[in-house]
Amino acid sequence: MASDQPSNPQDGLTTTRDDSLVKPIIVANSTWTPADPTAYNGGQPPQITHLRELELGDKSDNGRWGALDVIPTKADYVLDLIRINSLWPLLSGLACCAMEMMSAATSRNDMDRFGMFPFRASPRQADVLIVAGTLTTKMAGPLVRLWEQMPEPKWCVAMGDCTCSGGRYKRSYATVEGIDRVMPVDVYVPGCPPRPEGLIYGMMKLQQLIKERRGHWPERHIGPTVPIGV
Amino acid sequence: MTARQDTTEIRIGPTDVARVMTLLHDDPEFRFLILSDLCGVDTGSVMQVVYHLWSDATPDWLRVIVDGLPRDDPRAPSVTFLWNGAEWAEREAYDMFGIIFEGNRDLRRIYMPPDYQSFPLRKDFLLADDAARAPGQGVRHMEQTFQPAEYRRREVLRQGLGSDAGQMAPGLQTAELASGEDPAR
Amino acid sequence: MTTEQTIRSLDDPDLFVETPGTIYDAIPPLPPRTEREAEFYTMRDGEMLINLGPQHPSTHGVLRVVLKIDGERVVDLDPVLGYLHRGVEKICENGDWHHAISNCDPLEYIAAMFSEAMPVMVAEKLLDLEVPRRAEYIRVLAWELNRISSHALFVGWLALDLGGLTPILYGFIERDEIVEMLAALTGQRLLFNYLRIGGVNGDLNHDFLSRLGDWMGNALKRIEEQQKLLNSNEIFVARTRGLGVIDRDMARRTLLSGPVLRATGIPYDVRRAHPYSVYPELEFTIPTREEGDSYARYLLHLDEIKQSIHIIDQVLHRMPDGPVMAKVPRLMRIPPGRAYVSIESPRGQYSAYGMSDGSDQPFRLRIHDPSFFNLQAVGLLMPGNLVADTMAIMASLDPIMGGIDK
């Protein structure tokens, strides 16, 4: 289930569109040829050999970490509504986006109003992992370890272009293109860096998502939402 | 590439480094007491180490280019005996180019993970869309996995492997491009 | 790779996977690869290795420091960098000189104008290009504004690392005002992409000038008010005075620069030692302090903020008319050559060495951030101090991992 599609589309927001006029325009790539001829045919699964333990064998959370020992109960349906207003982020500012995250947390654009003031230092006490900044292959291991140390329920926000898809470092030899290759992501906040208001919008989207998905948080997938070969 | 330069520049060979640097540093007329930058350069045919020095006696920078380091076994003397701060810069030059600085007490990789196999800023390490698919390993079929002789020997001893260990992977002796482009465009 | 390497889950209670090359350096790595590593990982009785890991609450970025502690005192340390290495230099080699401007932006992400200036000034030097005077003055204005916002943040972070949660909010108030101003000028809050080879991207506009005027009106007063929070705060002074003292000889040998160096008494400022842009025409002093401890570095940053406000004042009074961009072709084939430029960033001497081979791509663009050498000072300063002071020392050296790791 894609994480950005609500289960119950609200009435009044659906419109009938004439799709014949808005067909996507596909331009064949003629400016360069990829070195790998199978690049745009589904390609190969990313062999992140350096991070072999994190290979994308299983797409669902359950398979990856064994059967989830935490079973969401009926209480979680209500508790998720309460958790929305007190999501505690983990300080995971890696690079420039961390500056905007801190800016979103301080006086002018205040995230404290949403309950997100205490940026916990320890992953054991955090709810949300806001990954802000480029993820390099060296840092990927520690970051995934942080993610795994966070207790359920936990959510992940990919802030900035570098975490969404690799951004300006997509062709670099030392970065992971998008953290969705190594951890499940709930909200993508694009921008380089996104404005603090953008991050706050992303967090509000996360609140909406938790509300709509309440009780169903184990069902998430790791994997890029962009085709592998791109 | 020898056309223009902006500051005074001298070129020396790797054997002269210690002598020249000590002279520039200690001589009361020169007093090049501050090293601003230490970097490695891969010109495609040779490797160089470039130092930029500053002295309060002249308003200009002095560029010292240590030229002529062979690409398959680049070694240069270290200047950490004069400036402690050069240690990390030499580590970076080693990490990015494979230049081994003799006399540096701590010559290990500084940016890349310790088990990384290649030297990224060399001209035969090519970035391409394939690099996006295997981050951390470089481009497997396109890069030349360079292992200096010392590294190979050390790995062999450390792991107690047989005599054929430490060889470059077969078939990866040269950088090949699948589409046959010229890398030096 | 050994043959008995198994792929284990990261949740395995046996924490360290014993393969020779793993992403986790086993502590201690067996066997040590260099002399210094062997010295570091030889432990006497009672010593412990503690990992001040890549994610820690002191927001300097991702730096990992392996501390060897005896009780509460740090005996030795081993900083591990590279958790933010993005391969900027290699990416720059694959693009244009113009692409290098936006590629080098995130190196010093707090004060991006300085890191942008690197490819720009190298290219201008290689081309022997004369930048219009108005553009030079706008550059100085942007540089000094970035310097103030960076120093305001430094003060906030230093207090944050010592446990004070209020000054960082004040620092971010200052920074947000300046950054909104620059967003009105350049269009972006953080990674401006404003400097161009031959000038700047756009002229000053009304929005920027009105915000600048509002801010300048009470800038000095506000900075002095914020100083009052910390200057004579008993706890702050007790924790920073005498902490991390650097003496001049060690400072020179460790190749420090910037406020860290000037706090030891050496008045080396690139704006005066190697004048660039229009700094020779501007009147400002170089503040120095004698003691060389963290408190001196803190006071020095405040002095520098005041000097920067003074410089902005002069720039606004002297702003000449004229174009903001020289006539340069879009496709810029730079004649072959080598150039070295160096400017004074909030952290010290920011320099770049560029080589061109006649095409429009940089052959080698080497950016050298001052925090790279400044961070080596932690190796001198932390041993002997308490673990609680390690972050105070790190904060007072003001490192930015974007530039260190490139």
Tokens of A102: 């801190």
Contact state of B120 with A36 under an 8 Å Cβ cutoff: no
Closest partner residue to B113 among C23, C359, C366, by Cβ? C23
Which of A201-215, B136-150, C98-112 has the weakest average pLDDT?
B136-150
Mean local confidence (pLDDT), C214-218: 90
Mean pLDDT, chain B, integer? 71
| pLDDT at res. C178 | 93
Which of A119-128, A177-186, C28-37, C353-362 has the weakest average pLDDT?
C28-37
| CA C246 to chain centroid | 19
Chain A nearest-CA distance from C254, in A, is 26
Mean local confidence (pLDDT), C47-60: 78
Q: pLDDT tens digits, residue range A24-37?
A: 334 444 444 555 55
**Residue of A171, A173, A175 best to disrupt the B interface, most CBs of B under 10 A:** A173
Contact state of A174 with C87 under an 8 Å Cβ cutoff: yes
pLDDT tier for residue A22 given thresholds of 50, 70 and 90: very low
pLDDT tier for residue A1 given thresholds of 50, 70 and 90: very low
Residue identified by tokens 């932390």 is C382
Distance CA A3, CA A1 (A): 6
CA C152, C157, C160, C165 dihedral sign is positive
A58 touches chain B (CB under 8 A): no
For residue A229, the SS3 value is coil
Distance CA B76, CA B67 (A): 10
Range with top average pLDDT, A5-19, A114-128, A202-216, C365-379: C365-379
CA C174, C176, C178, C181 dihedral sign is negative
| pLDDT at res. A37 | 52
Confidence check: pLDDT of C382 > 90: no
Q: pLDDT tens digits, residue range C278-325?
A: 899 999 999 999 888 899 999 999 999 999 999 999 999 999 999 989
Would you list the domain boundaries of chain B?
A: 1-111, 115-176
Mean local confidence (pLDDT), C263-271: 90
Closest partner residue to B4 among C254, C335, C340, by Cβ? C335
Confidence check: pLDDT of C121 > 90: yes
Chain A nearest-CA distance from B31, in A, is 39
| pLDDT at res. B140 | 31
Mean local confidence (pLDDT), C179-198: 91
| pLDDT at res. A34 | 52
| pLDDT at res. A149 | 83
Chain C nearest-CA distance from A171, in A, is 8
CATH number of B1-111: 3.30.460.80
pLDDT tier for residue C134 given thresholds of 50, 70 and 90: very high
What residues contact residue C73 under an 8 Å CB cut-off, 6+ apart? Answer: C384, C385, C386, C387
| pLDDT at res. A117 | 80
| pLDDT at res. B46 | 87
| pLDDT at res. B173 | 31
| pLDDT at res. B172 | 33
Confidence check: pLDDT of C129 > 90: no
Closest partner residue to B5 among C93, C337, C351, by Cβ? C337
Q: Per-residue DSSP letters for A149-195? A: HSPSS-EEEEESHHHHT-GGGTT-SSB-S-GGGTS--SEEE-SSSPP
Which of A119-128, B122-131, B171-180, C93-102 has the weakest average pLDDT?
B171-180
Mean local confidence (pLDDT), C186-197: 91
Mean pLDDT, chain C, integer? 85
Give the residues across from B38 on adjacent strands: B51
What residues contact residue C267 under an 8 Å CB cut-off, 6+ apart? Answer: C286, C288
% pLDDT > 70, chain B: 65
ipTM of the modeled complex: 0.84
In chain C the domains, ranked by start, together with CATH numbers, are 88-405 (1.10.645.10)
| pLDDT at res. A13 | 39
Query: Residues of C with CB below 8 A from A112's CB?
Result: none
Instruction: Give the global pTM.
Output: 0.79
Confidence check: pLDDT of C24 > 80: no
Q: pLDDT tens digits, residue range A92-148?
A: 888 888 989 989 988 888 888 888 888 888 889 998 999 999 988 888 888 888 888
| pLDDT at res. A224 | 56
| pLDDT at res. C310 | 93
pLDDT tier for residue C354 given thresholds of 50, 70 and 90: very high
Which of A60-69, C27-36, C166-175 has the weakest average pLDDT?
A60-69
Contact state of A46 with B133 under an 8 Å Cβ cutoff: yes
Taking only residues 346 to 375 of chain C, the set having a beta carbon closer than 8 angstroms to any beta carbon of chain B reads 349, 351, 353, 355-357, 359, 363-364, 366, 368, 372-373, 375
| pLDDT at res. C220 | 87
Tokens of A182: 């190594």
| pLDDT at res. B50 | 93
| pLDDT at res. A91 | 78
Query: Residues of A with CB below 8 A from B142's CB?
Result: 35
Confidence check: pLDDT of A54 > 50: no
More confident residue, B180 or A193: A193
The enclosing H or E element of B39 equals strand B34-42
| pLDDT at res. B41 | 92
Confidence check: pLDDT of B159 > 60: no
End-to-end CA distance of chain A: 22
Q: pLDDT tens digits, residue range C232-249?
A: 888 899 988 888 899 888
3-state secondary structure C281-342: HCCCCCCCCCCCCHHHHHHHHHHHHHHHHHHHHHHHHHCCCCCCECCCCCCCCCCCEEEEEE
C337 touches chain B (CB under 8 A): yes
Query: Residues of B with CB below 8 A from C85's CB?
Result: 111-112
Chain B nearest-CA distance from C166, in A, is 35
The enclosing H or E element of C156 equals helix C133-161
| pLDDT at res. C115 | 93
More confident residue, C33 or C319: C319
% pLDDT > 90, chain A: 10
Classify A19-212 by CATH class: alpha beta
Closest partner residue to B4 among C82, C273, C337, by Cβ? C337
